[in-house]
Amino acid sequence: MRLLFVADPLEDFKIYKDSTYTMMREAARRGHAVLACEPRHLRWVRGGPVVAAMREIRLVGSGDGGGAWFETIEEATVPLASLDAVVMRKDPPFDSEYFYATHLLGQAERDGARVFNKPSALRDHPEKLAILEFPDLIAPTLVTRDPQAIRDFHAEHRDVILKPLDGMGGMGIFRVGADGMNLGAIIETLNRDGAQTVMVQRYLPQIAQGDKRVLVIGGEPVPHCLARIPQGGEVRGNLAAGGKGVAQPLSARDREIAETVGPRLAARGLLLIGLDVIGDSLTEINVTSPTCFREIMDQTGWDVARRFVDALEAGVAAA
């Protein structure tokens, strides 16, 4: 197959931990052609199909010591519908340009392209708000632009987490304890005088055991998760915020959450999702570019990339 990965610049990949790289490596191992472009390379002109300026690459070396991990075989501008599959792997943030890219990919679908994850499903499942569909699986949660509603929620639950809806990697997350210290300043920072919606959740002390990333591929959970454990007094477990990643088997509750959410979202065209679970509660559903493949593979030997490419091949065959 000819597989196009729409992603960040290849030169910026940190392949020792990059999940997209592990997908490419497994695809290449099976003999599939690996192509890559960035969202900025997508183009449409009236009367024609969506095309992209892309390059076919060959994986070489390990990239250690700053060496190259790929070489370009060929560069060409190609209709997306002429490929076997398009894998959307652009990292967040889900900003206007990401939004526009999903519309171009949606037009490519109308041309006949097979896109994973499905562009309309990416738009319909914002990563913070997608949990609202599953109230029985989440902790007490408030989504609002009303500063007083935030104060009332804090008064009820006493220890809360506040976060912006467009953050990633733990960016912009604050904890406010029972004393309410700095609550007003945090509301002003995140809420911007009622101009910006904020999510507030009851603080879950189980974060000390890790913010677990549970991967679900084709509606089926990977049997190991990555518990991202906060370090040095930090409230955030995100790896980008310095958390320590520890792979571990799914608990019964992890599996229950995954088996509730996964099939429903897979039926909507989300081949790969990443569930964030603290204790017994679902806190976030990641659909744009879920990660942690490499950490789970390295620590457990369970080949997440192989499962993903299996599911991708099956998805192409079924399309």
Per-residue model confidence as pLDDT tens digits over 254-307:
999 999 999 999 999 999 999 999 999 999 999 999 999 999 999 999 999 999
Average pLDDT, the chain: 94
Look up residue 84 and give its DSSP letter. Answer: S
The yes-or-no answer on residue 284 being catalytic is yes
**CATH topology assigned to domain 206-302:** D-amino Acid Aminotransferase; Chain A, domain 1 (3.30.470)
- Name, in order, each residue with C-beta under 8 angstroms of 288's C-beta and a sequence gap of 6 or more: 88, 90, 91, 92, 94, 98, 117, 122, 127
The yes-or-no answer on residue 228 being catalytic is yes
The yes-or-no answer on residue 236 being catalytic is yes
**% helix / strand / coil in the chain, to the nearest 5?**
35, 30, 35
Q: What is the pLDDT of residues 141-181, one digit of tens each?
A: 999 999 999 999 999 999 999 999 987 777 889 999 999 99
Q: What is the pTM of this model?
A: 0.94
pLDDT of 130: 97
Choose, from 89, 90, 118, 163, the residue flagged as catalytic. Answer: 163
CATH code assigned to 2-123: 3.40.50.20
Residue 316 to residue 19: CA distance in whole angstroms:
20
pLDDT of 63: 57
Choose, from 89, 90, 114, 128, the residue flagged as catalytic. Answer: 128
**Per-domain residue ranges of the chain:** 2-123, 140-203, 206-302
Q: What is the pLDDT of residues 206-218, one digit of tens each?
A: 999 999 999 999 9
Q: What is the pLDDT of residues 10-65, one digit of tens each?
A: 999 999 999 999 999 999 999 999 999 999 999 999 999 999 999 999 999 765 55
On whether the CB atoms of residues 246 and 226 are closer than 8 A, the answer is yes
Residue 297 to residue 305: CA distance in whole angstroms:
8
Q: What is the pLDDT of residues 95-121, one digit of tens each?
A: 999 999 999 999 999 999 999 999 999
Choose, from 286, 294, 295, 307, the residue flagged as catalytic. Answer: 286
The yes-or-no answer on residue 238 being catalytic is no
Q: What is the pLDDT of residues 239-251, one digit of tens each?
A: 666 789 999 999 9
Choose, from 202, 236, 294, 307, the residue flagged as catalytic. Answer: 236
The yes-or-no answer on residue 213 being catalytic is yes
Q: Is the dihedral of CA 52, 53, 58, 64 positive or negative?
A: negative
- Name, in order, each residue with C-beta under 8 angstroms of 93's C-beta and a sequence gap of 6 or more: 166, 167, 168
Residue 213 to residue 229: CA distance in whole angstroms:
11
The arithmetic mean of pLDDT across residues 88-99, rounded, is 93
pLDDT of 233: 65
Choose, from 228, 238, 254, 295, the residue flagged as catalytic. Answer: 228
pLDDT of 230: 87
Choose, from 284, 294, 295, 307, the residue flagged as catalytic. Answer: 284
pLDDT of 243: 82
Choose, from 276, 294, 295, 307, the residue flagged as catalytic. Answer: 276
Choose, from 213, 238, 294, 295, the residue flagged as catalytic. Answer: 213
CATH code assigned to 140-203: 3.30.1490.20
Of 230 and 155, the structure prediction assigns the larger pLDDT to 155
